Amino acid sequence: MTNLNTYQINEDIKLVIFDCDGVLVDSEILSKKVLLKMLTKLGAQVTGEYFDRHFLGYSFNHVSAKILEDFTVTLPQNFRKDYHQALMETFSAELTPTPGLKTLLSKLSLPCCVATSSSPERVKHALKVTELDTFFTKCVFTCSEVKKGKPAPDIFLHAAQKMGVMPKHCLVIEDSCAGIKAAKSAEMQVVKYTGASHLKNKNLINSNVTDDVVTIHEWIQLFDLAPLLMSKD
């Protein structure tokens, strides 16, 4: 893991791309709670550690395939709809932004956008419930818009193209192995954020992925890494 004190972000960054779940919103711990409860009822005894290693940052299609492969459980046709409804209800009652995020966004000097594996409905609801939607008007991109989800680079390249910024000028903020791989494959700079509940005091990503990826635990550290990101106003 790269030392925060020695890591340097290039000064030619023109766009900050945020993942949503576990980065903008503290949602992964809620998603885990809802999904594991529903899977248990189907006979798939998925542990929290398994969820962290194989589900974080991935699309629902990937999760479904992984459950079939490792637990020989085929999800019912209505599972996705039922999971979505249960999760939206939980989000409405419990979802919060990650600590200090709104302060960071209010001080950010560069354009920013969202690139997520979540469905359009889920990310829209998450941003609205947490009152983050005002920071990301017309700049939210989901894997439904590309052929391959993370860890393929498609979603980040799509977001950069839509925002009119070359990949080499983008900085990605991610929390998952899949997201970090995707950002690196897109040849973008990437910072790992571990300030959400599901990553506190954990090291879930293999060292061969994070050798040249710096980790921040608090949003204020992003400005320490790159003072140019902070507005002077």
Q: Selecting from 1.10.8.420, 3.30.9.10, 1.10.150.240, 3.40.50.920, what CATH number does the domain 28-94 have?
A: 1.10.150.240
Look at 20-24, 179-183, 204-208 and tell me which has the smallest mean pLDDT. Answer: 204-208
> What type of residue sits at position 211?
D
Give the Cα separation of 56 and 107 in Å (integer). 28
- Report DSSP state, residue 110: S
Going from N- to C-terminal start, the domains of the chain cover 15-26+96-229, 28-94
194 three-class SS: coil
Domains 15-26+96-229 and 28-94 share a fold: no
> How far apart, in Å, do the first and last CA atoms of the chain sit?
33
On the question of pLDDT at 53 being above 90, the answer is no
Please name the CATH architecture into which domain 15-26+96-229 falls: 3-Layer(aba) Sandwich (3.40)
Residue entry with tokens 């992984």? 66
**2 and 211 Cβ atoms separated by less than 8 Å:** yes
> pLDDT digits over 133-144, tens only?
999 988 999 999
**67 and 36 Cβ atoms separated by less than 8 Å:** no
On the question of pLDDT at 32 being above 60, the answer is yes
Average confidence score pLDDT of the chain: 90
Give the Cα separation of 199 and 204 in Å (integer). 8
Query: What pLDDT sits at residue 199?
Result: 80
Tokens of 79: 């599972």
41 burial type by CB count under 10 A (0-12 exposed, 13-18 middle, 19+ buried) = exposed
Mean local confidence (pLDDT), 89-97: 97
Distance of CA 32 to the CA centre of its chain: 14
Report residue 121's pLDDT band, with 50, 70 and 90 as the boundaries.
very high
Give the Cα separation of 4 and 12 in Å (integer). 19
Query: What pLDDT sits at residue 56?
Result: 82
Query: What pLDDT sits at residue 59?
Result: 82
